[in-house]
Amino acid sequence: MLLTIPALLNPAQIDKLTQLLQQGDFVDGKLSAGRAASPVKQNEELAQSPELLQRLYRIIMPALGHHADFRRATLPRQVADFIFARYQPGMRYGDHVDDPIMGGGKFRSDISMTLFLSDPNDYEGGELVIHTHFGEQTIKLDAGSAVIYPSSSLHRVAEVTRGERLVALTWIQSFVRDPQKRTLLYDLDQVRETLLQQQPDIEHTKRLDRSYVNLLRMWSEI
């Protein structure tokens, strides 16, 4: 499932993040790339600075945890520490697939997420292009909005030709490994939430709620 999440962060949070990122040092992004990705990766990433990273995480992680649509779509078991990437003119990231195992072997990457931090009018190029069964999907979102997509997807970042593209990246291991099952659960949960709000006492609502809960129980991995 490919899903955009508008306004995951508000303008004040974006301003604070960009101020903090201006204090950091950026290094060659190839340092974190795997063998297949390294030849096609041309960007910069925030250098490891525990104090600065913790300040950044304190802004992003609560917003992520409190966002209902993110939780429903990903069913997160584990969320990786964010990587903050910068693209300046001439930088790009060619076609690649994200590593299947991350965190030094600690978790499986089921879902990738790109959180846009730059206003799209402040740079040209830099679109995230994801290969899907329906063709290429080109994504360039407002600052503070995010997109999630299967980590198994072939994707790239188009060359930036003007300005600066800042993004935050993370990967999620879901309680439900199969992306088709996650999509089905997400669709059911959308209807379930509407019925629970509007018609909580009717029999159809109770049956749908029970079916969703038991499907999640059946398909989840602990």
- Write out pLDDT tens, residues 17-32: 999 999 999 999 988 8
Place of tokens 């209902």: 68
pTM: 0.94
Q: Domains in the chain and their CATH numbers?
A: 3-174 (2.60.120.620), 179-219 (no CATH)
- Mean pLDDT to the nearest integer, 79-83: 95
Residue 37's pLDDT band (boundaries 50, 70, 90)? confident
Radius of gyration of the chain (CA): 18
Kindly tell me the sign of the dihedral angle through the C-alpha atoms of 71, 137, 30, 22: negative
pLDDT recorded at residue 103: 82
Give 123's Cβ-side CA count (13 Å radius): 27
First to last CA, the chain: 22
Q: Are the CB atoms for 167 and 116 separated by under 8 Å?
A: yes
Is a pLDDT exceeding 90 seen at residue 106?
no
Task: Give the residue among 130, 126, 125, 122 at the shortest CA–CA distance from 147.
Answer: 130
Sorted by sequence, the CB contacts under 8 Å of residue 136 that are 6+ apart come out as 129, 130
pLDDT recorded at residue 32: 82
pLDDT recorded at residue 104: 81
